[in-house]
């Protein structure tokens, strides 16, 4: 499969996906086994400057070219939804790299490198933490209404 107008391509850590970066402000995730292609919308009109997969492959850090204070956004790869935004400072991000454990993101900003704690828990962990904090669980009806993409394995489900 030949793809055109691609500036950068980055493999996921497990080698099953390829992040393709073009000039139109989007990142396309190509699932190599199936050939499926889905788009992560950055929400900005600026071209993407840098991308990096977290070691678990679930998070993609994206930095755009634009104003010097351009943020870095962390996207959930399966859904394409933004999970967190980081403002690295006065200089625009030039490159991104995750630490091997995925808890830290290094952002190079033209002569400086900032280290950011990006310890993002998986959704099931966040749901369990929430349920423990409020001291309750969800009924099947509540699960389908409020957590339609989660299964009973989240630890918050009661029959």
Q: pLDDT tens digit string along 143-158?
A: 777 666 665 555 566 5
* CA geometry: angle 78, 84, 89, nearest 5 deg: 135
Task: Please report the pLDDT score of residue 125 as a whole number.
Answer: 67
pLDDT at residue number 136: 74
Q: What predicted TM-score, i.e. pTM, was given to this entire model?
A: 0.71
Backbone angles phi, psi at 23, to 5 degrees: -85, -10
CB 107 within 8 A of CB 114: yes
Round to whole Å and give the CA distance between 28 and 36: 10
pLDDT band at residue 85, thresholds of 50, 70 and 90?
confident
% of the chain with per-residue pLDDT over 90: 19
Residues pairing with 95 in the sheet: 108
């Amino acid at each position: 499969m030949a793809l055109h107008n691609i500036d950068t391509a980055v493999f996921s850590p497990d080698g099953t996906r390829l992040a393709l970066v073009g000039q139109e402000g989007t990142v396309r995730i190509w699932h190599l086994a199936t050939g499926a292609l889905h788009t992560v919308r950055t929400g900005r009109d600026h071209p993407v400057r840098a991308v990096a997969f977290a070691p678990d492959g679930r998070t993609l850090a994206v930095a755009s070219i634009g104003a010097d204070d351009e943020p870095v956004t962390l996207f959930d790869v399966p859904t394409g939804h933004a999970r967190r935004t980081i403002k690295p400072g006065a200089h625009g991000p030039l490159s991104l790299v995750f630490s091997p454990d995925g808890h830290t993101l290094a952002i190079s900003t033209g002569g400086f490198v900032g280290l950011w704690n990006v310890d993002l828990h998986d959704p099931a962990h966040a749901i369990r933490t929430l349920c423990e904090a409020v001291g309750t669980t969800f009924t099947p009806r509540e699960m389908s209404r409020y957590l339609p993409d989660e299964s009973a394995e989240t630890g918050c489900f009661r029959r």
